Structure 1
């Protein structure tokens, strides 16, 4: 295997397993420790990975959020677990909103057997996933963000108040108990704020990496959020913090 092929393989493995130990990599790739170290040094110098004690992990983006394609494969197992937990709160006959995001997208995969369900969304992947099902679909109108495969809109071009949403499933890029949920893009944040305002119940679906971050645009304080659904890798100190708020912290697989 050529060095470029090995380095691509290392990145592919990290996209699935997040953190890898040196002995795991030498065994997986069938190479010596010295060869592995050379590949790791190349990737680290390119800013793609970070060396940690005994192994490596993917580097966090320095500016803004990763692309939708990157997020769709990042922490995939955790996101699917969160999505399945969210589905426990969706009943036959509900009218729900599914946000554009790599975590909420997976909800669409697990609701296809629901009866008389209406899904409102601004996510093109969600529409594609549910297109050939019996679920009633509504997509909000507005501008298409091609990179995010989403539709963003404003009050003057879409009459949000005609919607009657029972439960909204919202994504975000940051969560703190002090400032609530936040995101990188103003247009996405505007749509999320409006759906939070209109929905009777609001669930935030976010993997554990979002906790402790307060990014560019504030979406809503915690008192506007009924529950946050996350994975079991979340720092357990947040359980005590959330007990002091009105927002329920739901940890999938617990």
Structure 2
């Protein structure tokens, strides 16, 4: 396939889905990761796409990273496997905080059949999926579950952040936090590119007795602008089987527990 043809395919994928991940393009085009990254650089230089970590997105003046819709189309098998593994860690009848993000949204979808949960979230999509599953048309509860949505300023990733969200979270105490992150790094720990979202995520961590991080393997060695927590603050880190063995060994020694979800499990 000629370079021009590859670039047209990449552009079609970005326009169709709002974004495309390098790993998916490598498989679809049958070329190396270096070739895909070079093609994305060329397209970005021509003003046709925006380069982001792990791929490309449609141009947007609003965000430093893809919005919720674009990110929700990426790494679907990984997110589904992680969601099932993370949901299995949540006890019926417990209180749970769920941060914003597409992986945490997948976890919320996997939690709809867990009875009696009280969920605190700063994610509009998470609140919506749980509300639709748990609330009858007359407003009564179908499962004994309830959702508390923090206030705050809305980001392109549909998170509610800022002083209002932080103030609400500081008065709460939950059993478990399910935290999505932009990056996981040996030195920087857990990070996000959004300073205000970083502050809100730190408040979520402080409100939880147990911190469960859900992050697919592409997040490894990614460092965002704002720090959230150190690896040692993580009780459980749930990732997928694409994580290299060296990274698994390092994380297993630093976090309380490492759970590697097999992608095949999401298909069975």
Determine the C-alpha separation between the residues in 2 that align with 1:187 and 1:181: 15
Match of 1:151 in 2: 160
Question: Does residue 1:88 correspond to 2:92, yes or no?
Answer: no
Match of 1:53 in 2: none
The superposition leaves residues 140-197 of structure 1 with CA deviations (integer Å, 9 ceiling, x where unpaired) of 122222x121211326973424312100011111111222111100111111101111
CA gap of 1:167–1:156, structure 2 versus 1, over 3 A, is: closer
What's the offset of the Cα at 1:227?
A: 1.5
Question: Does residue 1:181 correspond to 2:178, yes or no?
Answer: no
Determine the C-alpha separation between the residues in 1 that align with 2:224 and 2:92: 36
What SS does the aligned partner of 1:91 have?
Answer: coil
Match of 1:138 in 2: 148
Match of 1:45 in 2: 42
CA contact (8 A) 1:161 1:198 kept: yes
5+ residue gaps, structure 2, are 32-37, 135-142, 264-268
CA gap of 1:111–1:42, structure 2 versus 1, over 3 A, is: closer
What SS does the aligned partner of 2:27 have?
Answer: strand
5+ residue gaps, structure 1, are 25-40, 51-56
Question: Does residue 1:20 correspond to 2:17, yes or no?
Answer: no
User: Going by fraction, where is helix more abundant, 1 or 2?
Assistant: 2
What's the offset of the Cα at 1:22?
A: 4.5
Aligned residues: 230
Match of 1:107 in 2: 107
Q: Which has the larger radius of gyration?
A: 1
CA gap of 1:10–1:185, structure 2 versus 1, over 3 A, is: closer
- Which of 171, 180, 191 lines up with 1:171 in the alignment? 180
What's the offset of the Cα at 1:237?
A: 0.6
- Which of 228, 232, 247 lines up with 1:238 in the alignment? 247
Match of 1:97 in 2: 97
CA contact (8 A) 1:140 1:158 kept: no
The superposition leaves residues 42-66 of structure 1 with CA deviations (integer Å, 9 ceiling, x where unpaired) of 876313599xxxxxx94589x9422
CA gap of 1:226–1:7, structure 2 versus 1, over 3 A, is: closer
Determine the C-alpha separation between the residues in 1 that align with 2:158 and 2:10: 29
TM-score, normalized by length of structure 2?
Answer: 0.74
